[in-house]
Amino acid sequence: MSTTINKEEIQKFSRLADEWWDVSGKFKPLHMFNPIRIEYITEKIKIHFKLKKDKSNYLEGLNVLDIGCGGGLISEPIARLGANVTGIDASEKNINVAKLHSKKNGLKINYLNASPENFKEKEKFDIILNLEIVEHVNNVNLYIKSCYKLLKKNGLMFTATLNRSFISYIKAIIGAEYILRWLPIGTHDWNKFIKPEELEKFLLDEKFSTLDVKGLKFNPFLKKWKKTNDLSVNYIISSLKN
């Protein structure tokens, strides 16, 4: 059977699993990245589902699937906003860390050790999150096809990844891994980065329509991320299942 699981990538993140919630540890870049990702995602959800943002649990009633959830860095804030969250990850160690942390924080999140192509769920989801995951999988076509089956008609999918550009090689590989040591050396394989037009083509081939594409850029002086039209390094695509 075809699979999207890249065993080397899974082992790499499994070894780091215990550090997911250490804001000063190996996943510090993701902790810094989280606010802008959540801001972008919730803004698009609010517009698409016509939600009123005047209550703390405004995502109540929406079923969200977080694929490649890791230790739950996105699953938990989305659950706090009222959504019914299911998080899946091909690393059992990541899932165990996520379960433990959500339980400790009194959050009901359904965490499962699975990949999208072998995930059997009766109910389909309103929203799917693919955040910094497609650059780590084998067979992107199969991955997106599997997501399509798990999403409701008119459902939203968010795919965030890295552009395969000269600038991304300098910033994400040389800068983040070798110079700043934000990430362990070997975290990313530049050859697996995907250009926005390639990802849009993958999505279109599986009958997704692109709603929006936005770049995400780090300001080293403010130590904050912001939205931008510059797609040369990090970018996020929101798409709709037709």
**pLDDT tens readout for residues 14-33:** 676 678 898 988 788 889 99
**Which tokens is 123 given?**
């109910």
| CA angle in degrees (0–180, nearest 5) for 117-100-83 | 60
Q: Where on the phi/psi map is residue 113: left (φ > 0), alpha (ψ -120 to 50), or beta?
A: beta
Q: Is residue 92 part of a domain?
A: yes
Q: Is the pLDDT of residue 100 over 80?
A: yes
The lowest-confidence range among 54-58, 118-122, 186-190 is: 186-190
- In angstroms, the CA 49 to CA 238 distance is 14
* CATH code for position 164: 3.40.50.150
- Between residues 1 and 83, the one the model is more confident about: 83
Q: What is the mean pLDDT of residues 53-74?
A: 92
Domain of residue 203: give its range.
Answer: 7-241
Q: Is the pLDDT of residue 178 over 80?
A: no
Q: Is residue 2 part of a domain?
A: no
Q: Is the pLDDT of residue 188 over 80?
A: no
Q: Is the pLDDT of residue 216 over 80?
A: yes
Band (pLDDT 50/70/90 cuts) for residue 6 is confident
- Between residues 174 and 185, the one the model is more confident about: 174
Q: Is the pLDDT of residue 125 over 70?
A: yes
- Between residues 36 and 192, the one the model is more confident about: 36
CB 171 within 8 A of CB 231: no
Q: Is residue 1 part of a domain?
A: no
pLDDT by residue (tens digit) across 75-99? 999 999 999 999 999 999 999 999 9
Total domains in the chain come to 1
Q: What is the mean pLDDT of residues 127-140?
A: 94
Q: Which residues of 166-203 are buried (b: 16+ CB within 10 A; e: fewer)?
A: eebbebbbebbbeeeebbeeebbeeebbbbbeebbebb
Q: Is residue 165 part of a domain?
A: yes
Q: Is residue 140 part of a domain?
A: yes
Band (pLDDT 50/70/90 cuts) for residue 175 is low
- Between residues 52 and 61, the one the model is more confident about: 61
Q: Is the pLDDT of residue 129 over 90?
A: yes
Report the share of the chain in percent with pLDDT over 90. 67
